[in-house]
């Protein structure tokens, strides 16, 4: 465009020049070597311009002829380079899509068209082709060669890091990540990996230095950097709070400035101040954190901050927390626990019930059970609160990646992630697939489909009436080792969520229930009634061993049902009667958190994932 503009301007200048000379005619006379040459001014200018143009054209022709070999070679070299880059681009695309054959073909073509020392992407294509074909040892050597070249060093270090992670060589992966982070802290993968390794080993000083470098490089946001720094400072302060309280106090206070009301930092700062006998400032920090976010650990530290306080003094401090954050479940809980220690049962019961109304959880019902046990000793009421605790949601805890810890930790022990622990209700264990809601016919068909042909033929024949048993009646029969002994000698201790209650005397085996769901407990009670009365439905009338002297009672309610398939043991049958009974009593009571036995009508196939 610029050249065209210059050419137009030149033509206009020549046109205006010739027009100006045409308006002003004149003659030009030249005497040279006794010869006189006369011509008009227009003719003289035309001859001069034509001569200059001829000289320029002649020079262009001569120059073109002289440079033609170089021009031709440069043309072919550019064409070859273009074809090489096209092959390189095609090879990288093929490697990215997983086409190993095309990537290998384009790799060979690229090496024939381009020089490897001039184009680093050829090494990348080599590595990608080797990785796709599974030649990991060759790929590792290529990455090592790339790591020695300053131009491809970071690419080689990343490849070596990934290969070390794939092989499970954590030390080698850490070395490569540290090297990359030292040379280029702006790389997110290198900084994150190096920071993770340093925090796992507890190198808080080095982790803080790396975090500052990442923040200066702009690879991490300011809010995320402040949070991570607060966690690192809290972790370092927690380790030095016993040996160096002053340094731990400074780190914890700095962490609180970066992350206000962070409970672990609050606790460490208060502990360091208490070791320096600065009770007033420690209490002020705990009160500020309690106003922002009530936490049971903060309440525990505040109530027991001063050694030697009586139970009444601790109750006053708990009531102080309630005033700071009224109408809150944690405030009521703190007062209730302090009142229980002070033997103020009326106040403890009032606050615990208020907390249960605001936020029902397992811990508050267990506290009510403790209050009932300490005040009245009524085992019936105690069992009532324990049953409420069984049904209530779990208490919040420090949780990270499915791992529940009693105390806060800066790094997750599962994934090694920094600041992974959260104060929340732990996730309940998911139950597996159950057949409780399926009709008995469909469940039995699925059980039959899972049997081998020989077992299907045996199961097809209906069992004799005497072989059909009631699961509740079977549950009330004595054990094999206690045959001949009356049922009254069978003793059981009811268990509610792992807490043993008082021995209630002789009970049948069906009363041994360990469940969080009230349904199995009620079934057990009904089975106890059935044991004291007439035989359960389904038992032959000729069996009068358990109902000889028992008054008639209300029939037991059937238990929750789930499908239990008979076990296939080949052609030999060890006990046909037991298996026939198992086929008929395919629905047995199970705990709500027990997924039961999974029955699949199809055999396992390659590539199929089983979730349970």
What's the pLDDT at 547?
35
Mean pLDDT, the chain, integer: 74
Secondary structure, 3-state, 421-473: CEEECCCCCCCCCCCCCCCHHHHHHHHHHCCCHHHHHHHHCCCCHHHCCCHHH
Most confident of 80-84, 417-421, 466-470, 493-497: 417-421
For the cut 80, the answer to whether the pLDDT of residue 601 exceeds it is no
The least confident of 52-66, 115-129, 132-146, 155-169 is 115-129
Task: Report the predicted TM-score, pTM, of the whole model to 2 decimal places.
Answer: 0.58
Return the higher-pLDDT residue of 466 and 379.
379
The least confident of 97-111, 381-395, 507-521 is 507-521
pLDDT band at 321 (very low <50, low <70, confident <90, very high): very high
pLDDT band at 605 (very low <50, low <70, confident <90, very high): very low
**What integer is the mean pLDDT of 367-371?**
95
Buried b (16+ CB within 10 A) or exposed e, 71-95: eeeeeeeeeeeeebeebbebbbebb
Angle between helices 263-275 and 296-303 (to 10 degrees): 10
DSSP 410: S
Domain spans, the chain: 8-61, 440-584
Q: How many angstroms separate the Cα of 231 from the Cα of each of 117, 228, 287, 329, 424?
A: 47, 5, 21, 27, 18
Task: Give the residue among 533, 525, 573 at the shortest CA–CA distance from 550.
Answer: 533
Q: Strand ranges (DSSP E) for 331-446?
A: 397-400, 403-405, 422-424
What's the pLDDT at 470?
36
State what percent of residues in the chain have pLDDT above 70.
Answer: 69
Alpha-helical (H) ranges within 98-152 are 100-113, 121-132, 136-148
For 67-91, how does the pLDDT look when each residue is reduced to its tens digit (9 = 90+)?
888 888 888 888 888 888 888 888 8
The least confident of 107-111, 419-423, 607-611 is 607-611
What's the pLDDT at 428?
62
For the cut 90, the answer to whether the pLDDT of residue 296 exceeds it is yes
What's the pLDDT at 265?
95
What's the pLDDT at 575?
53
Task: Give the residue among 195, 155, 159 at the shortest CA–CA distance from 174.
Answer: 195
For the cut 50, the answer to whether the pLDDT of residue 193 exceeds it is yes
What's the pLDDT at 578?
54
Return the structure tokens found at 89: 């681009």
State what percent of residues in the chain have pLDDT above 90.
Answer: 34
What's the pLDDT at 483?
38
What's the pLDDT at 374?
94
φ and ψ at residue 571, rounded to 5 degrees: -80, -30
The least confident of 9-13, 208-212, 405-409, 410-414 is 9-13
């Amino acid at each position: 465009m610029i050249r065209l503009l210059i050419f137009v301007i030149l033509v206009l200048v020549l046109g205006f020049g010739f027009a100006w000379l045409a308006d002003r005619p004149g003659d030009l006379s030249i005497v040279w070597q006794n010869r006189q040459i006369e011509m008009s001014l227009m003719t003289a200018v035309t001859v001069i311009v034509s001569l200059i143009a001829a000289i320029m054209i002649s020079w262009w022709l001569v120059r073109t002829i002289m440079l033609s070999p170089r021009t031709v070679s440069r043309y072919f070299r550019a064409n070859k380079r273009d074809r090489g880059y096209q092959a390189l681009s095609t090879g990288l695309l093929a490697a990215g899509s997983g086409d190993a054959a095309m990537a290998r073909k384009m790799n060979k073509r690229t090496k024939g068209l381009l020089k490897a020392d001039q184009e680093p992407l050829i090494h990348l294509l080599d590595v990608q082709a080797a990785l796709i074909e599974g030649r990991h040892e060759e790929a590792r050597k290529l990455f090592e060669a790339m790591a020695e070249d300053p131009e491809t060093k970071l690419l080689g270090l990343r490849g070596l890091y990934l290969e070390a992670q794939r092989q499970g060589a954590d030390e080698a992966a850490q070395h490569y990540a540290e090297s990359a982070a030292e040379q280029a802290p702006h790389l997110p993968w290198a900084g994150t990996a190096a920071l993770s390794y340093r925090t796992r080993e507890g190198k808080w000083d080095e982790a803080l230095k790396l975090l500052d470098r990442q923040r200066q490089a702009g690879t991490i946001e300011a809010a995320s950097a402040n949070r991570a720094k607060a966690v690192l400072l809290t972790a370092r302060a927690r380790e030095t709070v016993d040996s160096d309280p002053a340094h731990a106090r400074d780190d914890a206070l700095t962490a609180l400035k970066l992350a206000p009301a962070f409970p672990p930092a609050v606790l460490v700062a208060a502990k360091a101040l208490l070791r320096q006998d600065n009770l007033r400032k420690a209490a002020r920090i705990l009160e500020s954190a309690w106003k922002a976010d009530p936490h049971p650990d903060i309440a525990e530290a505040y109530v027991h901050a001063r050694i030697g306080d009586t139970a009444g003094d601790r109750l006053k401090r708990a009531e102080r927390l309630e005033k700071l954050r009224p109408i809150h479940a944690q405030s009521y809980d703190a007062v209730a626990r302090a009142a229980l220690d002070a033997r103020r049962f009326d106040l403890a019961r009032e606050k615990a019930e208020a907390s249960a109304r605001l936020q029902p959880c397992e811990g508050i019902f267990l506290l009510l059970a403790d209050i009932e046990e300490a005040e009245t000793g009524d085992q019936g009421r105690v069992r009532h609160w324990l049953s409420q605790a069984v049904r209530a949601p779990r208490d919040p805890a420090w949780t990270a990646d499915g791992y529940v810890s009693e105390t806060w930790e800066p790094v997750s022990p599962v994934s090694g992630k920094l600041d992974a622990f959260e104060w929340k209700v732990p996730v309940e264990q998911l139950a597996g697939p159950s057949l409780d809601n399926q009709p008995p016919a469909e469940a039995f068909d699925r059980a039959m489909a899972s049997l081998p042909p020989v077992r299907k033929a045996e199961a097809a024949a209906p069992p004799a009436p005497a072989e059909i048993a009631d699961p509740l009646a079977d549950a009330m029969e004595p054990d094999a080792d206690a045959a001949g002994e009356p049922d009254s000698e069978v003793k059981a201790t009811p268990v509610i969520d792992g807490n043993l209650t008082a021995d209630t005397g002789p009970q049948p085996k069906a009363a041994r229930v360990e469940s969080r769901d009230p349904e199995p407990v009620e079934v057990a009670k009904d089975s106890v009634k059935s044991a004291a009365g007439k035989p359960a439905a389904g038992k032959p009338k000729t069996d009068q061993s358990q109902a000889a002297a028992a008054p008639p009672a209300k029939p037991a309610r059937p238990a929750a049902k789930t499908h239990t398939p008979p076990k296939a043991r080949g052609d030999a049958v060890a006990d046909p009667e037991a298996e026939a009974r198992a086929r008929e009593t395919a629905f047995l009571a199970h705990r709500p958190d027990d997924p039961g036995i999974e029955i699949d009508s199809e055999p396992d196939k390659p590539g199929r994932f089983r979730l349970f």
